[in-house]
């Protein structure tokens, strides 16, 4: 398989090319525009991530004329994959599981069940290797326990699981009484409020005396790349919610959240959703078109592009931009106070994600942490490249003094990988800097203390003829691909039902 056309997004580096902006992807849309100027659509959808794509497809299949307006030159939003020599590197959202009902429905719909492959490559060539940086000393956990039967990956899992259980067990039932129904957090709002107002730092202060030094180091390193923020700025409830969604136990947490990825990458799935919508003949689109403002006239909504030239019109509008970006769009009438406040505060996750291709086959089962001093905190083997090299994926937090902007100094980024394990020979780096991406302003959603109880419901509410769908405000798998698909489908159904009695459409204004 050859490379796909190149998006402006992302970076890659090799010794031969140096740092290059833009990577090939199946998600690039060419030509970038297909719409009729002056056409009055049923619905305009802003944003071509999974929430926007699902909204577009469901509305188009139901008979609505839809226009997708997307700031990027590609689909996928914060979940997209490169296609370098036919090999995908996941630039954002990656992992899926059959416990995530909406994404699983999509995989079944498009015949992609055979796409699943195991991502962390434990117990393959070279055996499982685990390294830990503990108090400045790099420790290589032994391959076997004394009896020679327990691998070091099992030791690593047991250490993190022990700490996790202590951290999460606020009720003696490992969170079950706080969140008895993971997809309906409103069932027990008293419990939600108590732990939503607690920060990750607050909870760590309670639990730290009960953790061994190794437990604390490995677990803090693990948590640092879940919320990707200062500990006092991240809500503890968000971790409780993840834990509940992942069946209240550590093995399922790892299996559901960090194990199964798609062989051809997330852009392959996003492309199927987009192509099905286009095949209806009722989806038009305009890519590379950032939005400047949205005006709700009562009988129609007008969207003006940042260039001031393109003006799009529809009966309804669905806005799917990320929470941290919402306040950058001008709405008339202005957004309700709670929506604006939530977006200005923003979620806190500024995790760095970076891939390396290394000429070290023995590292295919590597799992390593470098916390708290590493600019990359955690890495593991994620596959074998077409060249026969090892693919590593790594994450770093945004803690002061260690935050990494990978493109700023490629030697610093290489060193961050090399610190995980002696002898690492980096051949290629691939990444997307979500921290500096104006259309994301961060990675996956992780709310601040108190934000769930104060803002979540308000973020989901319509504003006149403007509706909102986002992974950032989903009731179920919020912050995940499944949550985006869930929320896009929810809003598409509401909008379609409302428009059902006001056809025909597609007239000229």
Residue ranges of the annotated binding site for FAD are 70-71, 291
Other Cβ atoms within 10 Å of 146 Cβ, number: 7
C-alpha span between 373 and 334 (Å, rounded): 44
Query: Can you point out the beta strands (E) in 370-494?
Result: 378-384, 390-396, 426-431, 466-468
Residues at the binding site for substrate are 395
Q: Within 13 A of 472's CA, how many CA atoms are on the CB side?
A: 33
C-alpha span between 291 and 414 (Å, rounded): 36
| Cβ proximity of 419 and 374 under 8 Å | yes
Residues 6+ apart with CB under 8 A from 454: 338, 342
In the three-class reduction of DSSP (H, G, I as helix; E, B as strand; rest coil), residue 177 is classed as coil
Q: Strand 283-286 relative to strand 66-69: parallel, antiparallel, unpaired? A: parallel
C-alpha span between 3 and 7 (Å, rounded): 11
| Cβ proximity of 123 and 365 under 8 Å | yes
Residues at the binding site are 70-71, 291, 395
Beta bridge partners of 311: 304
Question: How far, in whole angstroms, is CA 316 from its chain's centroid?
Answer: 27
The full DSSP string for 331-399 is: EESPPPHHHHHHHHH------EEEEEEES-GGGTTEEEE-TTT-SS-EEEEEEE-TTSPEEEEEEE---
């Amino acid at each position: 398989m050859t490379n796909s056309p190149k998006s402006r997004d992302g970076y890659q580096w090799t010794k031969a090319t140096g740092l290059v902006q833009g990577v090939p992807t199946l998600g690039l849309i060419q030509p970038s525009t297909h719409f009729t100027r002056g056409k009055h659509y049923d619905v305009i959808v802003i944003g071509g991530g999974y929430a926007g794509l699902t909204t577009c497809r469901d509305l188009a299949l139901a008979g609505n004329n839809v226009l997708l307006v997307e700031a990027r030159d590609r689909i996928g939003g914060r979940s997209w994959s490169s296609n370098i020599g036919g090999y995908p590197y996941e630039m954002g959202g990656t992992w899926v599981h059959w416990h995530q009902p909406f994404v699983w429905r999509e995989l079944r719909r498009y015949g992609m069940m055979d796409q699943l492959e195991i991502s962390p490559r434990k117990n393959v060539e070279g055996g499982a290797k685990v390294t830990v940086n503990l108090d400045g000393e790099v420790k290589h956990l032994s391959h076997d326990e004394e009896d020679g039967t327990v691998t070091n990956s099992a030791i690593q899992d047991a250490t993190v699981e022990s700490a996790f259980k202590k951290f999460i067990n606020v009720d003696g039932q490992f969170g079950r009484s706080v969140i008895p129904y993971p997809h309906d957090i409103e069932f027990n709002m008293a419990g939600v409020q108590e732990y939503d107002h607690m920060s990750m730092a607050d909870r760590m202060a309670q639990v730290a005396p009960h953790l061994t030094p190794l437990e604390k180091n490995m677990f803090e390193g693990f948590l640092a790349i879940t919320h990707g923020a200062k500990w006092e700025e991240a809500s503890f409830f968000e971790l409780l919610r993840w834990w509940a969604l992942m069946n209240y136990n550590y093995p399922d947490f790892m299996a559901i959240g960090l194990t199964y990825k798609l062989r051809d990458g997330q852009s392959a799935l996003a492309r199927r959703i987009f192509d099905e919508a286009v095949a209806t003949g009722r989806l038009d689109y305009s890519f590379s078109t950032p939005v400047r403002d949205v005006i709700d006239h009562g009988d129609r909504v007008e969207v003006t592009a940042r260039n001031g030239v393109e003006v799009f019109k529809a009966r309804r509008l669905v806005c799917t931009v990320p929470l941290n970006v919402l306040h950058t769009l001008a709405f008339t009438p202005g957004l309700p106070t709670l929506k604006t406040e939530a977006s200005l505060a923003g979620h806190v996750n500024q995790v760095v994600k970076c891939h390396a291709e290394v000429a070290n086959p023995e590292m295919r089962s590597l799992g390593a942490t470098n916390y708290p001093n590493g600019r990359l905190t955690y890495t593991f083997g994620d596959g074998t490249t077409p060249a026969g090299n090892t693919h590593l994926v790594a994450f770093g937090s945004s803690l002061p003094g260690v935050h990494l902007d990978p493109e700023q100094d490629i030697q610093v980024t290489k060193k961050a990988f090399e610190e995980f394990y002696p002898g690492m020979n980096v051949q290629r780096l691939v990444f997307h800097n979500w921290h500096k991406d104006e259309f994301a302003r961060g990675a996956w959603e992780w709310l601040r203390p108190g934000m769930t109880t104060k803002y979540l419901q308000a973020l989901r509410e319509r504003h006149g003829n403007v509706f909102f769908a986002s992974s950032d405000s989903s009731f179920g798998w919020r912050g995940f691909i499944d949550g985006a698909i869930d929320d896009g489908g929810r809003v598409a159904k509401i909008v379609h039902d409302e428009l059902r009695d006001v056809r025909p459409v597609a007239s000229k204004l």
